[in-house]
Amino acid sequence: MNHKALLLIPDGMADRPCKDLGGQTPLDVAAHPTLDALCSQGRMGMAVTVPENLPPGSDVANLALLGYDPQKYYTGRGPLEAASKGIALGTDEVVFRCNLVSVKDGPSGGLIMHDYSAGHITTEEAAVLIRDLAAHPAFKKTRLFPGVSYRHLMVAKSGSDWKTVPPHDIMGQAIVKHAPSDHQWQEWFDVARKILASHPVNKSREKAGKEAANAIWIWGQGKSPHLPALQERFGIKAAMITAVDLLRGIAVFTGMDIVEVPGVTGYLDTNFAGKAEYALRALDNHDLVVVHIEAPDETGHSGKADLKLKAIELWDSEFLEPLLAGLNRRSDPWRILVSPDHATPLALRTHTHDLVPFLFADSRVKPGKPARFTESIAAQSDWRLTAHESFLPLLLGDQMPS
């Protein structure tokens, strides 16, 4: 390998034509001049990141982007996130993702999932809520671990065979249709509802006009997988930059160094420029640097077109522009792969199995005329790839795809 490699993952950036945008996608409408200029140094195509028989989650898709066949290695989201916190699991233990969510009374009675993120509750507020839930006798046989914002973990000795769904897949829907029928799940949900309803953190949030984190939703359970390290597979030293525990956990399992960047949040207020700065530093002693940015996905789940446009434009101007400027000041050649992990269409507010647009670019290719990076333009290419089979070999290989 005679170049530096970067895998840039704007999570959920891909979309579908949207009524709110006049039948165009966010990539069609948003200003992303740096990305468009980068297209002149490479080639676009469309990729399969999620097999049809697996859920189109970031866990499955990001494993594929990093060259791991999800059919072989995927065991659930929970254990990937647990690894990021150094949580050791017993052979009889299952780890769940545990969201703090907002539920409301539905128009026909019963509770509906109102907000999968509890209004993007702060990490500090959430830690207090999770601590107080963990102290209740109903949770004495579990282990609760606080995470970032609404994202937390629960370790238990039951539930491995429950059918669970992500809360972002059931926005506005009656939760009774999607909750496991097991009495243990119901007890945890009911007790959490009682504790959270009168909690001072939620009273303060309501007073400020914010969503209350008035329920928990556990999902994505699994046991620890075994993933061969990237060093073992490709002979490289790799680093991960991300704000979310899922990607940090994948990094742990695959032997990647985790680069800590101050001020990262996983939302629009994240430190975009800091991620660029730290990625450039990481290239000094790594062959591959992966930079994951969550904001396009989070804004896709919101269903608000203006927010997703903002996420794309901030990614381009505050992250990609300084990153490329820094790369072009270096003496060593580079190759970049830009690819969303999956689509998060605004109209659906959840993930899909859609093919995603990708771009391979190389500093050794003379820049030409900029080309728009959009789903429709990428689809005009006859280049179709399966991510887990092709992406890493092409990114790390020495010959530019033609």
* pLDDT level of residue 76 (50, 70, 90 thresholds): confident
pTM of the predicted model as reported, rounded to 2 decimal places: 0.84
What is the structure's pLDDT at 30?
98
| Among 17-21, 66-70, 155-159, the least confident range | 155-159
pLDDT, tens digit, for every residue of 170-199? 999 999 999 998 999 999 999 999 999 999
Which residue's structure tokens are 């891909």?
Answer: 14
H/E stretch holding 361 reads: strand 356-362
Strand partners, 6: 289, 336
CB atoms within 10 A of CB 232: 11
244 sits in the region (left: phi over 0; alpha: psi -120 to 50; else beta) called beta
Determine whether 198 is exposed, middle or buried from the number of CB atoms within 10 Å of its CB (0-12, 13-18, 19+).
exposed
Size of the chain in residues:
402
State mean pLDDT over 60-82. Answer: 94
Mean pLDDT of the chain: 95
Could you give the 3-state DSSP secondary structure of residue 275? helix
Whether 116 and 152 have beta carbons less than 8 Å apart is answered as no
What is the structure's pLDDT at 223?
86
Distances in Å between the Cα of 252 and the Cα atoms of 81, 82, 224, 240 are 10, 10, 12, 9
State mean pLDDT over 48-75. Answer: 95
Whether 188 and 216 have beta carbons less than 8 Å apart is answered as yes
Could you give the 3-state DSSP secondary structure of residue 338? strand
pLDDT, tens digit, for every residue of 212-240? 999 999 999 988 888 999 999 999 999 99
Give DSSP secondary structure letters for 134-184. Answer: HTSGGGTTSEEEEEETTEEEEEESS-TT-----GGGSBTSBGGGTS---HH
Domains present along the chain, CATH in parentheses: 4-74+225-396 (3.40.720.10), 94-222 (no CATH)
Whether 4 and 287 have beta carbons less than 8 Å apart is answered as yes
